């Protein structure tokens, strides 16, 4: 296991894919820029997070989607930023050297239009100080008519397998909720070589300006995040844990987490770590608050760490997932 520089072996410390995180909190891709933007905000510290996932990176620079890119919804937010980034060469040469790797772990997020793109991006980051690589398989596949890689288990697995051959670093497959069978997708990604799973990515949605009768988001549709999706994300984590736990594969549970109790729900459902995204926009000090709340819970219940809490959801033997209608 790789120890974190300066990491204290406290109750919040957790092992994720063989890497020691000082906190179970992971700041999600696209929500903390390239790891240094929020350090300018008073009261924020990268040290309060176990890891930061960098903004999605492509082979070539991208300008992103036309405006509007962001729209606030009841208990949530739509975004269609469009992978705006300076390209992998600039990220490795100009951004990574400026990051303080003694503060936290840094995870790259790779996005491609073809399987070869993903493999090449992974190869580039393999020869960098980055701690792990998250594969954003929710990107559209331009060779297959623009369908998302992540919505089809076989295609997801092909991407993961190609990336696995390109690196010895831990690989995290970011699973889409916009698919029929997330458990099968998780199983195939694990068999293809994923070391961890991020559950879930945003849920596709849209908003309409009733006066103009036009979509508000310039890209027509965007990813919905925030508390509105939390119950969906929680169920998906529980379902994926049923598969991942058999293989010892850890999960980053994410989707609408804003409080310590939200985080604890995800951990009990099966998350080893928990992702914070939209909440950071409302409260840059939310990591401190969540860490403190988790520590209070552990003390209250006589727990010395998080391991016994992960996947501790209690179910009656006859309880089964069911769809209720009527």
- Which sequence positions are flagged as catalytic? 139
Q: ∠ CA 160-191-177 to the nearest 5 degrees? A: 65
CB 192 within 8 A of CB 153: no
Cα-based torsion angle of the residue sequence 234, 169, 46, 186 in order, rounded to the nearest 10 degrees: -10
Task: Supply φ then ψ for residue 110, to 5 degrees.
Answer: -110, 140
| Both tokens assigned to 112 | 């491609």
φ/ψ bin of 30: left (φ > 0), alpha (ψ from -120 to 50), beta (otherwise): left
Please count the other Cβ atoms lying within 10 Å of the Cβ belonging to residue 304.
10
Give DSSP secondary structure letters for 151-172.
GSHHHHHHHHHHHHTT-SS-EE
Please count the other Cβ atoms lying within 10 Å of the Cβ belonging to residue 296.
11
**Going by DSSP bridges, is the β-strand pair 14-16/273-276 parallel, antiparallel, or unpaired?**
unpaired
CB 245 within 8 A of CB 239: no
Burial category of 295 from C-beta neighbours within 10 Å (exposed 0-12, middle 13-18, buried 19 and up): middle
Tokens 């989707």 — which residue? 255
């Amino acid at each position: 296991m790789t120890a974190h520089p300066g990491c204290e072996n406290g109750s919040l410390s957790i092992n994720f894919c063989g890497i020691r995180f000082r906190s179970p909190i992971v700041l999600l891709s696209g929500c903390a820029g390239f790891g240094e933007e929020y350090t300018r905000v008073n009261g924020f510290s990268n040290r309060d997070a176990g890891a930061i996932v960098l903004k999605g990176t492509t082979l070539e620079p991208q300008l992103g989607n036309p405006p509007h890119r962001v729209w606030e919804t009841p208990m949530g937010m739509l975004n269609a930023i469009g992978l705006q980034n300076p390209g992998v060469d600039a990220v490795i040469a100009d951004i990574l050297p400026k990051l303080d790797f003694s503060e936290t772990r840094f995870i790259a997020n790779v996005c491609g239009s073809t399987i070869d793109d993903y493999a090449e991006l992974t190869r580039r980051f393999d020869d960098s100080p980055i701690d792990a690589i998250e594969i954003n398989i929710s990107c559209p596949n331009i060779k297959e008519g623009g369908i998302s890689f992540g919505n089809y288990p076989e295609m997801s697995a092909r991407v993961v397998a190609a990336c696995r051959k390109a690196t010895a670093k831990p690989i995290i497959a970011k699973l889409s909720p916009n698919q029929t069978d997330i458990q099968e997708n998780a199983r195939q990604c694990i068999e293809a070589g994923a070391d961890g799973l991020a559950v879930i990515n945003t849920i596709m949605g849209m908003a309409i300006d009733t006066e103009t009768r036009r979509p508000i988001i310039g890209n027509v549709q965007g990813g919905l995040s925030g508390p509105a999706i939390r119950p969906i994300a929680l169920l998906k984590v529980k379902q994926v844990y049923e598969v991942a736990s058999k293989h010892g594969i850890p999960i980053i549970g994410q989707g609408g987490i804003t409080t310590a109790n939200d985080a604890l729900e995800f951990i009990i459902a099966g998350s080893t770590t928990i992702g914070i995204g939209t909440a950071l926009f409302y409260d840059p000090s939310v990591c401190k608050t969540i860490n403190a709340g988790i520590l209070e819970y552990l003390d209250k219940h006589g727990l010395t760490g998080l391991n016994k809490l992960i996947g501790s959801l209690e179910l009656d033997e006859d309880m089964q997932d069911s769809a209720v209608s009527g």
